[in-house]
């Protein structure tokens, strides 16, 4: 009789008429459209490798809709914060800027709103902001001002003063953070003494380069775009960690993608924005998974704030020289 019951249970599982019971330290997730192991791991607060090991997956890049995955976690998926707010997308905004405004992450916004492509939001779209009861109050200027100079960007100025680019834009009524002009006087909210601004003059070790080229100074974690000897834009970046360093040398952009998937040991990053490859799998690209620019963070690539990566992507062409040094 027990054998018959076992066979009936197996048949029921195959037909989807019963749900298997797993140990309490695991839950089951059914793969939905547009999902991958990276997003599922983020949702449950576990790693891609842990899910792969629990399910015997040899290829972490391949799962299918309807697949049942055992999630090795202590309970249900990470609960959404008890309070939330709604943000209506305005012209010029993207998930990166909105996440900075509310003190959350791009991944949390995408998960809360069912967004598959984190590079696509539209004007008028209503976004649920997890863990926020209302929009933060607009900061008041403190009397500190900064006059925009050649090569400045809003994000670089914000990093100098320890505020977010969104906050700086809101304080000064800037609708498009990519558009500031030389001589513009900016009110800096809640600022302290700014950190020293690197001299944007060409590095001493730079060979003569005419036209457009990119300099990456690993010692100060800064990328500067040049036209001849004139710096036209500069931003803090995050380059390779000690175990995965960014290689020095002179390279050229050999291919560009508006968005590309990147993967390696222990990570999978879909839709990496504004990617420009210059040496095998090494690239300059936008970054939605952290905002700790000015500090090494990468597996060897050069991480830029996404708005800066977009500007550089549109400015540089295939063949543009990249000079990387200490």
- Tell me, yes or no, if the two domains 84-130 and 141-189 fold the same way: yes
Q: What is the structure's pLDDT at 203?
A: 61
Topology of domain 2-71, CATH: Membrane-bound Lytic Murein Transglycosylase D; Chain A (3.10.350)
Per-residue pLDDT band at 223 (split at 50, 70, 90): very high
Q: Which CATH architecture has domain 141-189?
A: Roll (3.10)
- With CA atoms as reference, report the closest residue to 307 among 286, 325, 278: 286
- CATH class of the structural domain 212-325: mainly beta
Predicted confidence (pLDDT) per residue in 153-197, tens digit: 777 777 677 676 667 777 787 766 667 787 888 888 764 444 444
User: How many helices and strands in the chain, by DSSP H and E?
Assistant: 8, 15
Instruction: Give the chain's mean pLDDT.
Output: 76
User: What gap in Å lies between CA 172 and CA 97, rounded to an integer?
Assistant: 15
Q: What is the structure's pLDDT at 192?
A: 45
Domain ranges of the chain: 2-71, 84-130, 141-189, 212-325
Give CA separation, 284 vs 4, 254, 276, 301, 306, in Å.
61, 11, 5, 6, 11
Strands (DSSP E) found in 83-140: 84-88, 126-130
Q: What is the structure's pLDDT at 22?
A: 37
Convert 85-105 to b/e letters by CB count within 10 Å (16 or more is b): eebebeeebbbbbbbbbbebb
> Can you say how many angstroms the Cα of residue 160 is from the centroid of all Cα atoms in its chain?
20
The residues, ordered by sequence, that sit 6+ positions from 288 with a Cβ below 8 Å of its Cβ are 95, 96, 106, 107, 118, 273, 306
Q: Which CATH architecture has domain 84-130?
A: Roll (3.10)
Averaged pLDDT for residues 281-307: 90
- With CA atoms as reference, report the closest residue to 54 among 68, 31, 70: 70
Place of tokens 């500090």: 295
Q: Using the predicted structure, report yes or no on whether residue 81 has a pLDDT greater than 70.
A: no
Q: What is the structure's pLDDT at 206?
A: 58
């Amino acid at each position: 009789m027990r054998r018959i019951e076992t066979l009936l249970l197996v048949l029921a599982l195959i037909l989807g008429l019963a749900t298997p019971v797993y140990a309490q330290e695991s839950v089951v997730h059914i793969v939905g459209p547009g999902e991958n192991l990276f997003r599922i791991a983020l949702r449950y607060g576990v790693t891609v490798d842990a899910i792969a090991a629990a399910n015997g997956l040899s290829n972490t890049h391949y799962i299918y809709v309807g697949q049942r995955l055992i999630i090795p976690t202590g309970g249900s998926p990470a609960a959404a914060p008890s309070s939330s707010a709604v943000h209506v997308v305005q012209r010029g905004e993207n998930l990166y800027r909105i996440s900075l405004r509310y003190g959350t992450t791009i991944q949390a916004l995408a998960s809360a709103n069912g967004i598959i492509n984190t590079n696509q939001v539209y004007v008028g779209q209503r976004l649920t902001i997890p863990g926020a009861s209302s929009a933060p109050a607009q900061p008041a200027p403190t009397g500190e001002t900064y006059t925009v100079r050649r090569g400045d960007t809003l994000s670089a100025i914000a990093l100098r003063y320890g505020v977010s680019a969104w906050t700086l834009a809101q304080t000064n009524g800037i609708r498009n953070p990519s558009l500031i002009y030389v001589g513009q006087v900016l009110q800096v909210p809640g600022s302290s003494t700014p950190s020293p601004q690197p001299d944007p003059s060409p590095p001493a070790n730079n060979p003569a380069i005419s036209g457009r080229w990119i300099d990456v100074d690993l010692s100060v974690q800064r990328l500067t775009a040049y036209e001849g000897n004139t710096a036209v834009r500069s931003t803090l970046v995050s380059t390779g960690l000690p175990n995965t360093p960014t290689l020095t040398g002179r390279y050229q952009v050999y291919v560009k993608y508006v968005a590309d998937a990147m993967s390696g040991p222990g990570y999978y990053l879909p839709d990496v924005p504004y990617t420009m490859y210059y040496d095998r799998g090494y690239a300059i690209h936008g970054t939605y998974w952290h905002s700790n620019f000015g500090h090494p963070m990468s597996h060897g690539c050069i991480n830029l704030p996404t708005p800066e990566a977009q500007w550089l992507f549109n400015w540089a062409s295939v063949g543009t020289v990249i000079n990387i040094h200490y």
